[in-house]
């Protein structure tokens, strides 16, 4: 329950982000942000996710003019290449085979936008994963069990995907799933939504 009169809105249709925010035990609404996610010609992946997280939060102001709105966006990078969602089994096999034994960086843009004051707090939270060497059989078994075809990097770290990792590095493991709760909690506390 929120201890402020402000409505809290998650500008995301991601079930993973919704589940993460529910962990905080606060009331919130969700909305689907209609934002063009096209990357600019000279835009870095990091600048893209920061821009998109703020754009997603700001787009909710017309519907929620007095709310605190959370926007988030994420990109996965391996050796400078942006990793997309595989979409199907074959692409996921190729993607995991490429990631085996390598370091993948997840860059998550986070924004808390105060629609009442038109003020936005925006940050980039990195998280890194080192994949362990994987055989074709391990990849096949994993994909058949979890079918993470709508996940960038072809895994779900909150599930069996954790077995694919050799190590994880970063401030907030929730950033890997797409919503950095440590930073967000600090911002929400400062905005009057006390957690816990």
> Which are the catalytic amino acids?
73
Please choose, from the candidates 60, 85, 83, the residue with its C-alpha nearest in 3D space to the C-alpha of residue 71. 60
Distance CA 195, CA 25 (A): 8
CA 99 to chain centre: 19
* Whether the Cβ atoms of residue 139 and residue 97 lie closer than 8 Å to each other: yes
Residue 79: asked if its preceding bond is cis (omega within 30°), the reply is no
Sign of dihedral through CA atoms 87, 42, 74, 97?
positive
Q: Rounded to the nearest 5 degrees, what angle is found at the Cα of 109, between the Cα atoms of 107 and 112?
A: 155
């Amino acid at each position: 329950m929120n201890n402020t009169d402000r409505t809290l809105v998650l500008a995301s249709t991601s079930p993973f982000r919704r589940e993460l925010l529910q962990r905080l035990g606060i009331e919130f609404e969700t909305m689907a942000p209609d934002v063009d996610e096209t990357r600019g010609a000279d835009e870095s992946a990091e600048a893209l996710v920061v821009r998109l997280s703020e754009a997603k939060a700001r787009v909710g102001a017309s519907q929620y003019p007095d709310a605190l709105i959370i926007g988030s966006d994420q990109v996965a990078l391996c050796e400078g290449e942006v990793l997309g969602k595989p979409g199907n089994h074959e692409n996921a096999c190729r993607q995991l085979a490429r990631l085996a034994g390598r370091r993948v960086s997840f860059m998550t843009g986070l924004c808390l936008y105060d629609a009442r004051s038109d003020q936005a707090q925006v940050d980039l939270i990195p998280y890194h994963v080192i994949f362990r060497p994987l055989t074709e059989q391990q990849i096949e078994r994993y994909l058949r069990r979890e079918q993470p075809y709508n996940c960038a990097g072809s895994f779900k770290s909150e599930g069996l995907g954790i077995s694919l990792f050799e190590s994880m590095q970063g401030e907030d493991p929730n950033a890997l799933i797409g919503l950095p709760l440590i930073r967000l909690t600090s911002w929400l506390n400062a905005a009057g939504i006390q957690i816990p």
